[in-house]
């Protein structure tokens, strides 16, 4: 009987680890894709990026700086083997997204239904979930 309980507990642990790993990679992939696409859009000055940045009162070169950091951060979040870089990338994405939401709030530019604040705060939340679910190999 003890072997059956032990085997069941071991199977439960393996299933939980697999589920956590799946959740981590799902959330992290979504976060990295969103940040990467946003960074590329800023670097290429696509969509309404130019209008958005000028409406907030920032110079256009800020788009280049933010675009480069977003692309590098998206890469750093998914590349294994660099736990300190991973920590810094998560911190940078968090500051970037909360800073974007605050910039829109301070400029009274909430967008339709608060979209300009909700989207970066959603990405900040994804970032927190990704950081919380990271595997032991990515923890300092």
Over the stretch 16-54, which tens digit does the pLDDT of each residue have?
Answer: 688 899 999 999 999 999 999 999 999 999 988 999 999
CA atoms of 74 and 65, how far apart (whole Å): 14
Average pLDDT over residues 83-87: 94
The encoded tokens of residue 107 equal: 């400029």
Q: What is the pLDDT of residue 138?
A: 78
- Determine the length of the chain: 140
Give Cα 97 distance to the centre of its chain.
8
Average pLDDT over residues 100-123: 94
| Residue 61 pLDDT exceeds 80 | yes
Q: What is the dihedral sign for C-alpha 64, 66, 67, 68?
A: positive
pTM: 0.84
């Amino acid at each position: 009987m003890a072997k059956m309980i032990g085997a069941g507990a071991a199977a439960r642990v393996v299933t939980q680890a697999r589920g956590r790993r799946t959740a981590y990679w799902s959330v992290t992939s979504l976060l990295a894709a969103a940040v990467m696409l946003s960074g590329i859009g800023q670097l290429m000055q696509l969509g309404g990026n130019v209008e958005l940045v000028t409406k907030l009162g920032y110079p256009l070169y800020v788009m280049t700086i933010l675009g480069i950091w977003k692309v590098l951060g998206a890469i750093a979040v998914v590349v294994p083997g660099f736990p300190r870089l991973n920590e810094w990338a998560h911190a940078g994405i968090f500051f970037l997204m909360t800073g974007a939401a605050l910039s829109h709030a301070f400029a009274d530019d909430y967008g339709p239904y608060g979209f300009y604040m909700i989207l970066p705060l959603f990405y900040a939340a994804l970032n927190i979930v990704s950081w919380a679910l990271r595997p032991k190999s990515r923890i300092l």
